[in-house]
Amino acid sequence: MADKALVTVENLTVKFVSHEATVHAVSGVSFTLARGEVLGILGESGSGKSVTLRALMRLLPPNKTRLSGRIDIAGRDVMALDPMALTRLRGSTVAMIFQEPMTALDPVFTIGEQIVEAIVQHDGVGRAEARRRALELLELVQIPSARRRLDAYPHQLSGGLRQRAMIAIALSCRPALLLADEPTTALDATVQIQILLLLRSLQQKLGMAMIFVTHDLGVAVEVSHQIAVMYAGRFVERGTVGDVVHRPRHPYTEGLMGSTVHEVPQGTRLTPIPGSPPNLAALPPGCSFAPRCSYAVPACGKALPELRVIATEGRFPHETRCIQPEAVGTRSAIPA
Amino acid sequence: MFYYILRRVLYTIPIAIGVSLVVFALVHLAPGDPLSAVMGEVDQKMLAEMRASFGYDKPLPVQYIIWLGSALTGDMGYSLRTGAPVFGTLIDAAANTMIIGTAAALLGFIIGATFGMLAGYNHGAWLDKVVSSATIAGVSVPHYWLAILLVIVFSVQLGWMPAMGAGSAASILSWEAWKHMILPVIALAAIPCAIVARTARACVMEILSMEFVEALRARGLSERRILLHVARNALPTVLAVMGLQFAHLLGGSILVETVFTWPGTGYLLNLAIFDRDIPVLQGTILLLALFFVSINLVVDILQTWADPRISRG
């Protein structure tokens, strides 16, 4: 933590505005990330995790989105960048891989053309040199018979190979920060693990920082140094993997652990979280999880709890947005 | 790829035979005798002799075989009206139709595709609104009405352009020839231009909403480069529509050619129908049908090139 942070995000807020409603997709997210570190963002669909990633690159459609807060990546104020500077940042400093490689690759261009294009655009080298580097990249992401795959179209590859190809494109200009938006969700279980291991080894080998968004606890644990749990557009708990997974101090995190099939003995009853996530167009005034929370007390509904530090002994401080963190875990099961 | 093209070409042979059969049957299914319409009241013996000399006394299947056999060798009989060989007449007319059809296609497709794409890309902007209204007008206006309007304004009132014919210039590169082409080409180009523009606009809007466009932005590609990706993705659909429109231009310009008395296949067909000139009628319809078949063939082949997802196996 001594070196200067690669990414600093302060009070990031994303609103989607339309005639009918204003949707508060992300409300006041702050974090810092050092070079070579991995932040896992865990949350269910609609919690704002993918929107957070897109906001970091300013990928959201500007006419429907209101962004505020501060985003600083590699010393550049992302909010203030003009369109030209933004295209230079995207792909070269920050790259992104997507959930569904079939729809995130252009179907009528070969894998090779798509890598070459990115390299030519950012590094200004010739096509022959770019093609040579594209081949190296396909070998780096362990695509077998890489030379042949360079001229393959996305539909000619299997799901796993497609995702590897997408990773190769993302890595083509040696980004300092890789944003991964559920990169394993759309894949078969066996392929998921391969892609996960590949991403982890590439991240370590290339020393990239990575923000890994997933709804899968097991995946988040595998790759992350610190984990942030996101609910209704806010971080509700954050800390080292050990803290968050083994000593959850927010009822929502505890609920996630109770409703997952990872690392539980056979026969253990899975406990779903009752109710459904709040409407982001009309958030409750207090804690957004209170309506579903079995620990809720009247104070929970009054004011929004701050994200506060409750322990500092780990590599990262353990933070929670719950006003009674000590109570979490005292009840064996959440009543349905 | 080679075998795909070969197979696709071979497929067109039975289609072409079927087309020729339909053309032949259609003309002969119409009531009345082709000769009696031309000859008027003559004595029966002479009519029978004439029938025998044109082969109209033989059974229809035999007539078909004879007609097809000689058509394949370039002998399509003689016009009942002028006595000129049908084949030569057709070649001249087809060349004239090709000239304005191709010119109208070039004009309509370039303008339509460009503005359609820009409208889709700038969805909701003033350009989009202008293009959308213009294309609705374009597809709604009957082209013969537009043709008559053009004649009234530019030939009759302003007197800038000739109203009729192809002129007598020796070369199509001369201003004399161009002057005669401008109005028919504009009248012909209006509908294909509007249809191509609408297709391109819808196609581009659909592609822009796809995830890979966001992924391309995330790679830091320039907007020009992204537009190229979008255009390349829209190509197969737009190409298919262009092919159909081109076929319509070559085959369906009867009304426009008639308004301008442009000596093409459409005008020829119109004359042949009113004169009940069976050999010319058969030849012209067959030629137009073969235009359709071959343009479809070309479009199919172009599409496998434009869209790698279409199997070439």
First to last CA, chain B: 8
**Residues in chain B closer than 8 A to A57 (CB atoms):** 218
Average the pLDDT over each of A242-251, A326-335, B184-193 and give the range with the smallest value.
A326-335
Interface contact A92-B211, CB threshold 8 A: no
DSSP summary character for residue B56: T
Q: Partners of A320 in the beta sheet?
A: A237, A308
**Residues in chain A closer than 8 A to B308 (CB atoms):** 107-108, 153, 155
Residues A6-12 have a mean pLDDT of: 92
pTM of the model: 0.81
Interchain contact B313–A (C-beta under 8 A): no
* Cα angle value A215/A258/A328 (rounded, 5°): 105
Interface contact A90-B217, CB threshold 8 A: yes
Residues A161, A184: Cα–Cα separation, whole Å: 12
Average the pLDDT over each of A141-150, A165-174, B156-165 and give the range with the smallest value.
B156-165
Structure confidence at residue A270 (pLDDT): 76
- Has residue A276 got a pLDDT over 90? no
* Chain A from 299 to 328: CB within 8 A of any B CB: none
State the span(s) of chain B assigned CATH 1.10.3720.10.
86-143+188-306
> Quick one: which of A222, A226, A221, A224 has its CA closest to A194?
A222
- Has residue A12 got a pLDDT over 50? yes
* Chain A from 85 to 104: CB within 8 A of any B CB: 86-92, 95-96, 98, 100, 103-104
**CATH class as words, domain A7-224:** alpha beta
Structure confidence at residue B192 (pLDDT): 92
Closest-CA distance of chain B to residue A264, Å: 36
Q: Other C-beta atoms within 10 Å of B1: how many?
A: 9
**A169-198 burial: b if 16+ Cβ within 10 Å, else e:** bbbbbebbbbbbbbbbebbeeebbebbbeb
Structure confidence at residue A333 (pLDDT): 45
Q: DSSP 3-state assignment of B78?
A: strand
The two beta strands, A234-240 and A226-231, are antiparallel
Residues A295, A251: Cα–Cα separation, whole Å: 7
Interface contact B218-A96, CB threshold 8 A: yes
Place of tokens 């053009």: B150
Structure confidence at residue A68 (pLDDT): 92
Percent of chain A residues past pLDDT 70, beyond the cut: 95
**Residue among B212, B215, B222 minimizing CB distance to A87:** B222
Residues A319-325 have a mean pLDDT of: 88
* Chain A from 36 to 65: CB within 8 A of any B CB: 54, 57, 59
Interchain contact B217–A (C-beta under 8 A): yes
**Residues in chain A closer than 8 A to B217 (CB atoms):** 59, 90
* Chain B from 92 to 131: CB within 8 A of any A CB: none
- Contact call for residues A187 and A167 (beta carbons, < 8 A): no
Structure confidence at residue A186 (pLDDT): 83
Structure confidence at residue B287 (pLDDT): 86
Output phi, psi for A177, to 5 deg. Answer: -135, 125
- Taking chain B (313 residues) in runs of 10, the rounded mean pLDDT of each run is 82 87 79 63 73 76 84 79 83 88 93 93 88 90 86 81 70 73 88 94 92 91 91 92 90 83 87 84 85 87 84 58
Structure confidence at residue A336 (pLDDT): 40
Residues B133, B147: Cα–Cα separation, whole Å: 20
For CA atoms B264, B266, B267, B270, give the dihedral sign: positive
Output phi, psi for B258, to 5 deg. Answer: -70, -40
**Residues in chain A closer than 8 A to B209 (CB atoms):** none
Where is B175: in which H helix or E strand? helix B175-208
Structure confidence at residue B229 (pLDDT): 93
Interface contact A91-B229, CB threshold 8 A: no
Residues B185, B187: Cα–Cα separation, whole Å: 5
Of residues A3 and A304, more confidence is placed in A304
Interface contact A121-B225, CB threshold 8 A: yes
Residues B192, B135: Cα–Cα separation, whole Å: 10
CATH architecture of B86-143+188-306: Orthogonal Bundle (1.10)
